[in-house]
Structure 1
Amino acid sequence: MILGLYEAHLPVSNLQQSIEFYSKLGLELAWRDEDTAFFWIEKEKSWVGLWQGEEHKTAYHPSLRHIAFRVSYEDLRESVKWLQTIEIEPVPFGKRDSIDPFVRPNQGNASVYFNDPDGNSLELMCFVNVPKNLKNISNKLSIEEWEDLVKEKN
């Protein structure tokens, strides 16, 4: 029945500024009106709606103001450099100090985080194939630590 995610929405304070930001990410503007814009994440499959209004003042919480974009593992490895080339600064996740991508072996995924101009939390994320003997690791590992660990266990 369910084939995937069709849309997600974020509040913004300045629609034009947000259109410029999301365009820098390579997303295609699908349509806009006076206070709303939609960008294709995957053309004709999924999009993100940006809604200008006072709601951008809502305190951040991942259940309210967060979107993770799916990327390949190879692209995630290069994501910090890519973000910086388009003048977007990655941010550390949670209690981490590093902005570099990290792996969550117990969840089978890897991420890097950044914010849009309104502080909405955005994430580049990919699936990671985790060998059975490493699935119990709950620590967040840097890509380098992860790759070293996988080589060591093989």
Structure 2
Amino acid sequence: MKLGCFSVSLSVKDLQKSREFYEKLGFTVYAGEESHRFLIMKNGDTNIGLFEGMFDKNILTFNPGWDQDASPLDSFTDVRELHEQLKAKGLEILHPSLDSDNGPASFSVIDPDGNPILFDQHV
């Protein structure tokens, strides 16, 4: 099971203040737009997403099909296959968006402590 790029998606109250804080920790803006209220920041292979007003909790995020630089992988486990594997293991699947046989799709699970985990494939 190849989960792809990992990041933590943080729910922030003030995008600009959060950006400035994480820049002090050595992160730089990699993607996203402040006008859309989100930024993706990198420090080496570590990725974090800052999302203002988009969700209530921080989310662990996996992007099947991408490496840590959001570059497409030649080989990966498709999000639909991950969905079936996790469902078969008895995990409750939330918010499935699996409308086609390939390409972008997503779903979520919740760990035993209530932490959301998003599987979000862009390729």
Same fold (TM over 0.5): no
Per residue, is there more helix in 1 or in 2?
Answer: 1
TM-score, reference length from structure 1: 0.31
Per residue, is there more strand in 1 or in 2?
Answer: 2
TM-score, reference length from structure 2: 0.38
Q: Which has the larger radius of gyration?
A: 1
